[in-house]
């Protein structure tokens, strides 16, 4: 199979590239080497196209002779401030639209789209009185007062967080989330009109060797690691009890490969998570122990676009594609700590 891998020079992209090649696929990488992620922009070479997916001519050329497209290229992260808003829409929404138009003209009918857990907003919650409910956005007055748990929107009672499934109501709560969900909607439209097939992989918290550090969009594990290497205590927002599903990047790569080799329905969304629940504080504490470093400090600070709890039920991916994760948090973090920093790209 000949695969076009957009964003293939990024953190996740490099691991996906390695996995696809190991399975015998021919891979063409298209990457813009955007300066907020990469230190250098290399010259094109066989198997590497240096260009922006938003450039219709570049995208169309890259699709020549391709069987399947894996679309990872995106501006990632929560967003630093509203000055990022147009960049998210341009990089993610417009970039996906241009690529989909190219797929239609090239008569390519298989797409793996890198989506994200952020399309859900908050995860699943249950009230003892009202059953499953969807809490609204958290209020600044509650967050300022240290009331981080969202209450039942009907009675105000404490909620029990659970595992979110793919048919949950989608409720993006920041610019990145909105752009990722827009990409899913665009891909759905493309699939319907071309009789194409889309697997939308909703990645949960990805970590592992090569994850970017010291950028405004770095993941929390990388931020904690950088602090510990400076001899500083990791600083944990809110009270550190935010529940997440942390998944090793190798397991993400095998999920992408499995989806690339399968023929999905017109559009199928898959959660991609480890199936285990940890808190942000757990990760900080585990890394501090590994470094024999200072005890993490919970600050009570918050980011308005963050959600409280989001953890995955990934049974659909296991059942449909036979995928399963291979790393738990302890072995995954040990693998992260053994790895050197990525060379500047």
Residue 302: which of 158, 147, 116 has the closest Cα? 147
Cβ–Cβ under 8 Å, residues 196 and 160: no
Contact at 8 Å (CB) between 13 and 345?
no
CB 235 within 8 A of CB 227: yes
CA distance 239 to 227: 18
Q: What is the pLDDT of residue 79?
A: 59
pLDDT in tens, 256-313: 999 999 977 899 999 999 999 999 999 999 999 999 999 999 999 998 878 999 999 9
**DSSP string over 188-218:** HHHHHHHT-EEEEEEE-EEE-TT---SSTT-
262 in Cβ contact with 319 (< 8 Å):
no
What lies within 8 Å, CB to CB, of 246 at 6+ separation is 204, 205, 206, 207, 221, 274, 278, 283, 329, 332
Q: Does the pLDDT value for residue 343 go beyond 60?
A: no
Query: Could you tell me which residue, 218 or 154, shows the higher pLDDT?
Result: 154
What is the chain's length?
345
Q: 40, exposed or middle or buried, with CB in 10 Å at 0-12, 13-18, 19+?
A: exposed
Handedness of CA 108, 112, 116, 119 (dihedral sign): positive
Percent of the chain with pLDDT over 90: 85
Segment 236-252 mean pLDDT: 97
**50 token code pair:** 């240096």
pLDDT tens sequence across 9-56: 999 999 999 999 999 999 999 999 998 888 889 999 999 999 999 999
Q: Do β-strands 311-312 and 110-116 pair in parallel, antiparallel, or remain unpaired?
A: unpaired
Distance, in Å, from the CA atom of 169 to the CA atom of 280, rounded to the nearest integer, reads 24
pLDDT at 215: 62
Per-residue pLDDT at 158 exceeds 70:
yes
pLDDT at position 71: 98
In whole angstroms, what is the distance from residue 221 CA to residue 192 CA? 39
Q: What is the pLDDT of residue 178?
A: 95
Q: Cα(345)–Cα(343) distance, rounded to whole angstroms?
A: 6
Is the pLDDT reported for residue 213 higher than 90? no
pLDDT at position 345 over 60: no
Query: pLDDT > 70: what percent of the chain?
Result: 96
Average pLDDT over residues 238-243: 97
Strand partners, 4: 28, 69
The mean per-residue pLDDT over the stretch 235-258 comes to 97
Q: Residue 212 has what pLDDT?
A: 82
Tell me the pTM: 0.94
What is the CATH T-level fold of the domain 2-123+164-211+246-275+313-328, as seen in this structure? Rossmann fold (3.40.50)
């Amino acid at each position: 199979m000949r695969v076009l891998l957009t964003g293939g020079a990024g953190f996740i992209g490099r691991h996906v590239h390695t996995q696809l090649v190991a399975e015998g696929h021919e891979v063409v990488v298209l990457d813009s080497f955007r300066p907020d992620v990469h230190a250098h922009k290399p010259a094109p070479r066989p198997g590497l196209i240096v260009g922006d997916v938003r450039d219709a001519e570049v995208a169309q050329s890259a699709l020549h002779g391709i069987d399947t497209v894996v679309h990872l290229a995106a501006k990632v992260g929560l967003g630093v401030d509203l000055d990022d808003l147009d960049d998210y829409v341009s990089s993610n929404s417009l970039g996906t639209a241009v690529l989909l138009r190219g797929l239609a003209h090239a008569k390519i009918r298989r797409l793996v789209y890198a989506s994200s857990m952020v399309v859900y907003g908050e995860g699943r919650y249950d009230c003892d009185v009202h059953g499953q409910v969807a809490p609204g956005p958290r209020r600044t007055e509650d967050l300022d007062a240290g009331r981080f748990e969202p209450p039942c929107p009907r009675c105000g009672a404490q909620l029990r967080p659970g595992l979110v499934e793919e048919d949950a109501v989608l409720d993006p709560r920041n610019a990145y989330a909105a752009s990722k969900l827009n990409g899913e909607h665009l891909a759905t439209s493309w699939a319907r009109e071309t009789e194409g097939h889309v697997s939308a992989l909703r990645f949960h918290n990805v970590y592992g060797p090569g994850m970017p550090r010291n950028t405004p969009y770095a993941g929390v594990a990388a931020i904690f690691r950088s602090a510990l290497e400076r001899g500083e205590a990791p600083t944990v927002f809110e009270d550190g009890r935010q529940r997440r599903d942390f998944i090793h990047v190798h397991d993400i790569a095998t999920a992408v490969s499995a989806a690339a080799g399968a023929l999905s329905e017109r559009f199928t969304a898959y959660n991609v998570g480890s199936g285990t629940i940890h808190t942000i504080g757990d990760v900080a504490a585990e890394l501090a122990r590994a470094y024999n470093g200072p005890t993490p400090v919970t600050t009570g600070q918050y980011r308005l676009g963050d959600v409280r709890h989001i953890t995955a039920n990934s049974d659909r991916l296991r059942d449909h594609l036979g995928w399963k994760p291979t790393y738990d948090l302890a072995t995954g973090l040990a693998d992260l700590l053994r790895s050197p920093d990525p060379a500047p790209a």
